[in-house]
Amino acid sequence: MSETAPTKRLYIKTYGCQMNVYDSERMADVLAPLGYGMTDSPEGADLVVLNTCHIREKATEKVYSELGQLKRLKAEKAGMTIAVAGCVAQAEGEEIMRRQPAVDLVVGPQAYHQLPELIARAHRARGERLAADFAPEEKFDALSTERRPSGVTAFLTVQEGCDKFCTFCVVPYTRGGEWSRPPDAIEAEARGLAEQGVREVTLLGQNVNAYAGEGGLAGLVRRLAKIPGLDRIRYTTSHPRDMDEALIAAHAEVPELMPYLHLPVQAGSDKVLRAMNRAHTAESYVRLIEKIRAARPDIAISGDFIVGFPGERDADFEATLSLVREVGYASAFSFKYSRRPGTPAAAMPGQVAEEVKEERLHRLQNLLDEQQRAFNGAQAGKTLPVLFEKTGRHAGQLIGRSPYLQAVHATAPDRLIGEIVSVRIESSARNSLAGTLALELA
Ligand code: SAH
Ligand code: SF4
Ligand code: F3S
């Protein structure tokens, strides 16, 4: 870490999942010793990094329109370097270089530790592309476990890549196969964060519960729970197939493990699940949720859904709605199926019309919204432990999170940032709760 004042301005824009958020932070760490300090606008930046997402067509297209705007800024600012990182860089690096001459370099998710070298070389000749090989161990070996957290919560990547090959998904191609970081390195990073005031970590992985380090994810959670000051542990994203007994038991037994689980199912029709290569049925998913709820009755369940997968008929979609009714979600993300080049589903017959997808998405989202409001509404009158993270929009207000990951607003003094405080919940909306401090503080 550089102790000297930054001399160059770095702007990073992050798209996509939390793993990209983590990666962006680590890219900033890697660049700090070279004199780069973060700025929050691309105007006048010396280096602009777009950390991109390839998951749906829209996400990918955004990158190209953003690059169009950056090209104009670059024309005004001599010496601006533009780098494209992340999953689009991995998937279509050559196309980026071809379509947008303003781009100086492209770097895939497993190579960003080499950014300093790439930037130096790009200054000599444009067109460096570093993407193709997946070597997460090299990346993590090259990165220090020391970080400068920016708040009281932090993301911590423990696993990368995916071997599941759901037929709609690009992730196995953009991030490579499943790989787990050694537990010692993770613990060192978590301890460092806790020593700097981090109270909550979210362990990240494309399939985080496939974590294969000693003791699996459950073992890792138990180990991290012992770190002084680290009071809350979360993890995301999980696959139903990797939800083992040990992890379920951890939800019952480890108080630091928060009662919230993002467990995507994607669809409720077995025919569609089979075509998606999910390797589970609707029934097995529902039974799994029951088991988890038996271990931790108050757990908040969240999920991801895709509507309009090739071959999805009305009856299949109805099966998704009934699964949602049966499970009862605290929150969820839902998407129209997006045809991704190179994935098996892109070539499947029975592609669904846009209007049909639109209509199904609307119906599904109405139901999920209703469930989310109901889940939030059920907290009214309860007293919940809230970890305050930052000041709110109104003077004297703080914003924190409940154990169930709900945003909670309350009138409270700034010194409570970083504290876990009892808050009595008075009202709720779709996306947040409001309450008052339950204890008169001295
Ligand atoms: N590894 C995680 C999530 C990866 S991507 C998992 O398996 O759950 C996040 C979500 O994006 C997926 O859960 C899925 O709902 C959605 N998604 C992925 N590919 C998609 C596509 N081609 N079209 C629409 N949504 C997609
Ligand atoms: Fe994509 Fe499926 Fe892997 Fe999730 S499990 S990242 S949806 S291939
Ligand atoms: Fe997007 Fe890559 Fe994450 S495709 S969702 S940024 S793993």
pLDDT of amino acid 196: 96
- Please state the rounded mean pLDDT for residues 322-326: 98
Other CB atoms closer than 10 Å to residue 90's CB: what's the count? 26
pLDDT in the model for residue 340: 97
Question: Rounded to whole angstroms, how far apart are CA atoms 361 and 366?
Answer: 8
pLDDT of residue 442: 44
Q: Which ligand has the minimum distance to the alpha carbon of residue 167? A: 2
Residue of 171, 340, 343 to mutate, ligand 2, most atoms within 8 A of C-beta: 171
**What is the structure's pLDDT at 136?**
77
Contact call for residues 241 and 261 (beta carbons, < 8 A): no
Structure tokens at 238: 């999980």
Which pLDDT does position 440 carry in this prediction? 57
Predicted confidence (pLDDT) per residue in 393-412, tens digit:
999 999 999 999 999 999 99
Q: Is the CB of 344 under 6 A from ligand 2?
A: no
| Lowest-pLDDT range of 115-124, 137-146, 222-231, 278-287 | 137-146
Residue of 89, 119, 93, 115 lying closest to 26 (CA atoms): 115
Model pLDDT for residues 233-262, shown as the tens digit of each residue? 999 999 999 999 999 999 999 999 999 999
CB 437 within 8 A of CB 410: yes
156: its two tokens: 């911590």
DSSP 334-390: EEE----TTSGGGG-S-PPPHHHHHHHHHHHHHHHHHHHHHHHHTTTT-EEEEEEEE
Pocket of ligand 2 contains residue 206 by CB under 6 Å: yes
**17: Cβ below 6 Å to ligand 3?**
yes
- Domains of the chain as residue ranges with CATH: 8-136 (3.40.50.12160), 145-258 (3.30.750.210), 259-378 (3.30.750.200), 383-437 (2.40.50.140)
pLDDT tens-digit readout, 342-380 = 999 999 999 999 999 999 999 999 999 999 999 999 999
Quote the pLDDT of residue 138.
80
Output the CA–CA distances (angstroms, integers) from residue 5 to 64, 82, 140, 183, in the order listed: 33, 22, 26, 34
Probe residue for ligand 2, chosen from 164, 170, 262 as the CB with the greatest number of ligand atoms within 8 Å: 164
* Contact in structure between 427 and 433 (CB atoms under 8 Å): yes
pLDDT confidence bin for 2, thresholds 50/70/90: very low
Check whether 139 has a pLDDT greater than 90.
no
Mean per-residue pLDDT over the chain, rounded:
94
Distance 24 CA to ligand 3 centre (A): 13
